[in-house]
C-alpha cells in the first residue's frame, strides 16, 4: 500500500482501566491490511488507575500500539497532541475516536471507503447512548456554530472522524495546545473553509465502564468559556 495511505488511529484516555484493553484490541484490528507504518496511538497522561500499566502490557499483543504519556491531563489537549504527533510522523490520514467503548470499530470500514472523495468524514449520532442531556448540549453547540461562524453541521463533536492529515495541519496551529474543544473547532474549520466533508451516521453506545470525567456542571463551565473562545477565534477567520 502506498505511503499516502498511512493511517494513525488516535485516542485520548483518562482512568479507563475498565475499557482500555478491549478498546485497544478492537481498534487495533482496523489497521489490518493498511499501510505497514500505520499506528494506533493512545494519549494517557494523568490517569490515577491502571490504565497506563495495561497499555504498556498491551504493546506485546498489539505491535502497532504507541502510548503518549506527557500530553497533559485533559481531553482537549490530548486530542491536539495526538493530531500533532500523527502529522509529525507522516500520517496521511488521522482517525480520532475515544477510549470509553462508545464507538464501534466495525463502522470504520465505511468511512475508509469514502476517503477518496472527501477531506474529512465526520460521525453523526442520531441516537446517543450517553443520555438526552448530552444530546441537548450538542444541539446547542451546533446552534452556536451557526450563529458565530455561519456553518451548519449536524454533529460538531462526535469522536468518530477520519480526516486528511494535511488538512488538519492547516488548522491545528490556530488552536492553543490546551484548548478544550479542538474537535468542535476542527469541524468548524472544515465547514467554514469549504473543505470536502461528509457526515455519516454512526451508533453511539452508553459508556462501557468507568466514570465519565466530564459531567454536566463541567460541560456548562466549559461551554461558558467556549463562548469567549469562539469570539476570539472568529476574528482570525477569513475566507
Cell triple for 136? 441537548
Q: Interhelix angle for 216-235 vs 132-149, to 10°? A: 10
* pLDDT value at residue 1: 45
Bigger pLDDT: 129 vs 94: 94
Bridge partners, residue 67, by sequence: 42
Give the tens place of pLDDT for each residue, 5-29: 999 999 999 999 999 999 999 999 9
Q: pTM for this structure?
A: 0.92
Residue range 129-151: average pLDDT? 86
Judged on CB neighbours under 10 Å (0-12, 13-18, 19+), 147 is exposed
Look at residue 42 and tell me whether its pLDDT is greater than 80: yes
Give the tens place of pLDDT for each residue, 97-137: 999 999 999 999 999 999 999 999 999 999 887 767 778 88
Q: What residues have CB less than 8 Å from 21, skipping those under 6 apart?
A: 54, 58
Burial track 180-212 (b if 16+ CB lie within 10 A, e otherwise): bbbbbbbbbbbbbeebebebbebbbeebeebee
Cα separation values, 7 from 13, 57, 135, 166, Å: 19, 23, 30, 12
Q: Contact, 34 vs 1, CB < 8 A? A: yes
Q: Contact, 82 vs 43, CB < 8 A? A: yes
Judged on CB neighbours under 10 Å (0-12, 13-18, 19+), 105 is middle
Which contiguous run of DSSP H or E holds residue 94?
A: strand 93-97
* pLDDT value at residue 214: 53
* pLDDT value at residue 160: 98
Look at residue 218 and tell me whether its pLDDT is greater than 70: no
* pLDDT value at residue 132: 78
Between 125-134, 148-157, 162-171, the lowest mean confidence (pLDDT) is in: 125-134
Which contiguous run of DSSP H or E holds residue 160?
A: strand 160-164
Model confidence at 87, in pLDDT bands (50, 70, 90)?
very high
Bridge partners, residue 200, by sequence: 123
Look at residue 49 and tell me whether its pLDDT is greater than 50: yes
Amino acid at each position: 500500500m502506498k505511503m499516502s495511505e498511512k493511517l494513525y488511529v488516535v485516542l485520548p484516555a483518562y482512568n479507563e482501566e475498565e475499557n482500555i484493553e478491549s478498546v485497544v484490541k478492537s481498534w487495533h484490528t482496523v489497521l489490518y491490511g493498511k499501510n505497514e507504518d500505520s499506528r494506533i496511538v493512545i494519549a494517557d497522561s494523568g490517569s490515577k488507575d491502571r490504565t497506563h500499566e495495561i497499555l504498556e502490557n498491551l504493546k506485546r499483543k498489539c505491535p502497532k500500539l504507541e502510548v503518549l504519556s506527557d500530553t497533559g491531563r485533559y481531553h482537549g489537549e490530548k486530542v491536539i497532541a495526538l493530531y500533532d504527533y500523527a502529522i509529525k510522523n507522516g500520517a496521511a490520514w488521522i482517525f480520532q475516536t475515544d477510549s470509553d467503548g462508545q464507538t464501534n470499530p466495525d463502522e470504520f470500514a465505511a468511512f475508509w471507503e469514502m476517503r477518496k472523495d472527501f477531506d474529512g468524514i465526520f460521525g453523526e449520532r442520531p441516537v446517543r447512548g450517553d443520555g438526552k442531556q448530552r444530546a441537548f448540549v450538542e444541539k446547542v453547540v451546533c446552534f452556536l456554530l451557526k450563529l458565530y461562524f455561519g456553518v451548519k453541521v449536524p454533529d460538531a463533536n462526535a469522536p468518530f472522524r477520519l480526516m486528511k492529515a494535511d488538512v488538519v495541519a492547516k488548522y491545528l496551529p490556530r488552536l492553543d495546545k490546551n484548548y478544550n474543544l479542538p474537535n468542535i473547532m476542527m469541524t468548524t474549520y472544515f465547514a467554514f473553509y469549504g473543505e470536502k466533508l461528509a457526515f455519516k451516521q454512526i451508533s453511539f453506545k452508553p459508556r462501557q465502564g468507568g466514570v465519565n470525567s466530564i459531567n454536566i456542571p463541567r460541560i456548562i463551565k466549559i461551554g461558558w468559556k467556549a463562548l469567549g473562545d469562539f469570539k476570539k477565534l472568529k476574528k482570525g477567520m477569513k475566507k
